[in-house]
Amino acid sequence: MEHSSNSATIVDVLETILDKGVVIAGDIKVGLADVELLTIKIRLVVASVDKAKEMGMDWWETDSYFSSKATEQLEHQNLKLNERIEQLEKKLETKEIEGEKK
């Protein structure tokens, strides 16, 4: 039995796809009597994590649903905002008290 030397295995194809990346794009339009009722735009990117980061597609790192790091950043920002609100409220109370004294 002879095997072709240039036939690619599924592993080779998958490795190439993940290394280079593949973009699949399409639009689905539903219309009735030349009136467009619905348009769905589909964009699919298949790539390795490293390739996606290289392309600037690293949204999962800042999405709190996918990343504990993003959650920590949000909690830190929330803490800083709460501290700032407390400072502003104290300043406002001080100004109101000074205004009542006059």
Q: Which two tokens stand for residue 7?
A: 């036939």
The tens digit of pLDDT for each residue in 40-82 reads: 888 888 888 788 888 788 777 777 677 677 677 888 899 999 9
pLDDT of 100 above 80: no
Query: How many C-beta neighbours within 10 Å does residue 60 have?
Result: 13
Kindly write down the DSSP assignment for every residue of the chain, as one continuous string.
----TTPPPHHHHHHHHHHH-EEEEEEEEEEETTEEEEEEEEEEEE--HHHHHHTT--GGGT-TTT-HHHHHHHHHHHHHHHHHHHHHHHHHHHHHHHHHH-
Cα–Cα distance measured from residue 9 to residue 15, given in angstroms and rounded to the nearest whole number: 10
Residue-level length of the chain: 102
Q: Which two tokens stand for residue 17?
A: 């796809």
pLDDT of 2 above 70: no
pTM here? 0.39
